[in-house]
């Protein structure tokens, strides 16, 4: 035991030689250490907040991932164009069908008009028959009108080579040239399409 006495005495002397740390110095050291591991509020305020895409992977499409919103908008536009084109095609096909049927009926309507004119010229004996035929003619004309077909009687209007067929040209006193002065056969029009041009006489 006597051999260890000098060492113990040296340790006690060394500890006594070191300066003592006060409570204030310990608190300051702890505060400095806390500052080293804590981010200042100013630094946090100056940094950008992470976006939802950064926080939640997959919230925004990656560079190699398709833009589904753009694909949806394009598909919607294509579908709308398809619907419009389909409506146009259906309307055009319907008009062609109506026009074809009307062209087949027009000769019969013309013959009916001639029969009516002949019946009216025959006298009173055929008036009942004429009146009945006039009713039939009115029904046919009404059916054509409901289908969008209009009868064109251009008498007194300027001659239009796209809608009228000139059978003759004659000078008419008091009428300028190029005016329809007589209609031999009325025309039939479906929208902008001429089913049959009116046959007319034009002033020269």
Domain 148-204 annotated CATH 2.30.22.10: yes
**What is the per-residue pLDDT across 138-178, written as a single tens digit (0 to 9) for each?**
898 898 989 899 999 999 999 999 999 999 998 888 888 89
pLDDT tens by residue, 151-160:
999 999 999 9
DSSP string, the chain: -GGGHHHHHHHHHHHHHSPPPPHHHHHHHHHHHHHHHS--HHHHHHSPPPPHHHHSTTSS--TTS--HHHHHHHHHHHHHHHHHHHHHHHHHHHHHHHHHHHHHHHHHHHHHHHHHHHHHHH-GGGHHHHHHHHHHHHHHHHHHHHTTEEEE--TTSB--TTTEEEEEEE--TT--TTBEEEEEE-EEEETTEEEEPEEEEEE-
- Whole-model pTM: value is 0.55
Residue 31's pLDDT band, with cuts at 50, 70 and 90, is: low
Per-domain boundaries in the chain: 69-147, 148-204
């Amino acid at each position: 035991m006597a051999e260890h006495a000098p060492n113990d005495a040296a340790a006690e002397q060394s500890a006594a030689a070191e300066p003592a740390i006060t409570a204030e110095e310990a608190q300051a050291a702890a505060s400095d250490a806390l500052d080293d591991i804590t981010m200042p509020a100013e630094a946090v305020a100056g940094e950008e907040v992470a976006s939802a895409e950064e926080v939640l992977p997959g919230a925004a499409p990656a560079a190699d991932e398709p833009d589904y919103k753009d694909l949806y908008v394009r598909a919607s536009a294509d579908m709308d164009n398809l619907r419009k084109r389909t409506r146009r095609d259906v309307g055009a096909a319907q008009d062609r069908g109506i026009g074809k049927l009307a062209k087949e009926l027009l000769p019969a309507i013309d013959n009916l008009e001639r029969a009516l004119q002949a019946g009216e010229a025959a006298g009173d004996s055929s008036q009942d028959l004429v009146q009945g035929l006039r009713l039939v003619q009115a029904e046919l004309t009404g059916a054509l009108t409901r289908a969008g077909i209009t009868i064109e009687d251009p008498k007194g209007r300027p001659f239009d080579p796209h809608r009228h067929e000139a059978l003759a040209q004659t000078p008419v006193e008091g009428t300028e040239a190029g005016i329809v002065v007589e209609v031999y056969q009325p025309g039939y029009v479906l929208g902008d399409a001429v089913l049959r041009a009116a046959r007319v006489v034009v002033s020269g």
